Amino acid sequence: MKTEIAGLSIVVTGGARGIGLATVERLARSGARVAIGDLDADLAASAAREVAGRTGATVLSARLDVTDAASWSTFLAEVAEVGPVDVLVNNAGIMPLGSLLKEDAAITDAIIDVNVHGVINGTKAVGPGMADRGRGHIVNVASAVGRVAVPNGATYSASKFAVVGFSEATRAELGPQGIDVSLVLPTVVLTELASGVPAARGVKPVTADDVAEVIEATIRKPKAETWVPRYSQTIVKSANLMPRRLKEGMARLMKADSVLADADQSARAAYEERIRRG
């Protein structure tokens, strides 16, 4: 059964840029009331004004630190005008790259806090209201490396594996209460987060709007798991049926095992610096 987006109250975390902003735009154009949560309150406010101006939709924003449960409470109170949350898109995430053995402890903590605790905190913040109403939908934006681990992003990959496991567990737990839980797993996306990261051979990079389109489709018709691009899931499933040595050989052939190690560090410098400051 399809869900009509018009009139829904939807929260998008990390909604001031990249995939989050593209998602806000699409949902607003479809008639949803959207609340942007982002650590950068000024950028979120600007994004909300611009999207509302282009679409005529209700688009609100407030500062949100997804790692802090108290910040979630404050955020939801500040955007209460959109109404009880029908859909939560847990999109906020960070992706510092590099050798695990050289990774600063503060960066390790930040990756886990934003990418894992952020999703858990969001679910716990909106889940009780959804359960009380007997309906709701939580869409967790993970990553292909939440299913396929690659070097030079070990902590990031671990965080996305955690989101995959959390999503599968909460889907089973919350489903009987009327709450759908969906996973969206993009490959390399042409956003600041993935700046300088090459795509694997045979897998074209996707745009933020490509991912937003899948998120919108997932809200309309909930699915447990959707990859972006969709055909990449077939490649991974086929590889997982192979013996390990053959699977590893295929990864080398596609250069899937080196996409993070081969990232252009000069192209990533501004993003990595912003993450370290944040």
Give the whole-angstrom CA distance, residue 153 versus residue 273. 17
What are the CA-CA distances from residue 90 to residues 93, 100, 103, 105, 223 (Å)? Answer: 9, 26, 25, 24, 15
Q: What is the mean pLDDT of residues 216-243?
A: 84
19 neighbors 211 (Cβ within 8 angstroms): yes
For residue 2, tell me if it sits in a domain: no
Give the whole-angstrom CA distance, residue 209 versus residue 238. 27
| Domain around 140 | 9-277
Instruction: State the total domains in the chain.
Output: 1
pLDDT, position 179 = 98
pLDDT, position 39 = 97
Q: What is the mean pLDDT of residues 223-238?
A: 83
**Does 249 have pLDDT greater than 80?**
no
Q: What is the mean pLDDT of residues 48-76?
A: 98
pLDDT, position 246 = 66
Give the whole-angstrom CA distance, residue 29 versus residue 198. 31
pLDDT, position 276 = 85
For residue 30, tell me if it sits in a domain: yes
For residue 92, tell me if it sits in a domain: yes
Residue 35 burial (10 A CB sphere; 0-12, 13-18, 19+):
buried
For residue 233, tell me if it sits in a domain: yes
**Does 231 have pLDDT greater than 90?**
no
pLDDT, position 16 = 98
pLDDT, position 193 = 81
Give the whole-angstrom CA distance, residue 151 versus residue 251. 12
Question: For the chain, what percent of residues have pLDDT higher than 90?
Answer: 74
Residue 221: how many CB atoms within 10 A of its CB?
A: 10
Give the whole-angstrom CA distance, residue 127 versus residue 194. 30
Average pLDDT in the chain: 92
254 or 272, greater pLDDT = 272
Residue 1: pLDDT band with limits 50, 70, 90: low
Q: Using one digit for the tens of pLDDT, what is the confidence trace for 122-136?
A: 999 999 999 999 999
What is the bridge-based pairing of β-strands 9-13 and 33-38? parallel
The full length of the chain comes to 278
pLDDT, position 251 = 63
Backbone angles phi, psi at 183, to 5 degrees: -110, 135
pLDDT, position 199 = 80
Return the active site residues. Answer: 156
pLDDT, position 253 = 66
**Does 95 have pLDDT greater than 80?**
yes
DSSP string for residues in the chain? -----TT-EEEEETTTSHHHHHHHHHHHHTT-EEEEEES-HHHHHHHHHHHHHHH---EEEEE--TT-HHHHHHHHHHTGGG-S-SEEEE-------S-GGG--HHHHHHHHIIIIIHHHHHHHHHHHHHHHHT-EEEEEE--GGGTS--TT-HHHHHHHHHHHHHHHHHHHHHGGGTEEEEEEEESSBSSGGGTTPPPPTT---B-HHHHHHHHHHHHHS--SEEEESTHHHHHHHHHHTS-HHHHHHHHHHHTGGGTTTT--HHHHHHHHHHHHH-
pLDDT, position 205 = 81
Residue 141: pLDDT band with limits 50, 70, 90: very high
For residue 3, tell me if it sits in a domain: no
For residue 59, tell me if it sits in a domain: yes
Name which of 28-37, 87-96, 154-163, 244-253 the model is least confident about. Answer: 244-253
**Does 237 have pLDDT greater than 80?**
no
Q: Using one digit for the tens of pLDDT, what is the confidence trace for 4-25?
A: 999 999 999 999 999 999 999 9
Our CA dihedral for 217, 220, 226, 232, rounded to 10 degrees, sits at: -20
What CATH number is attached to the domain comprising 159? 3.40.50.720
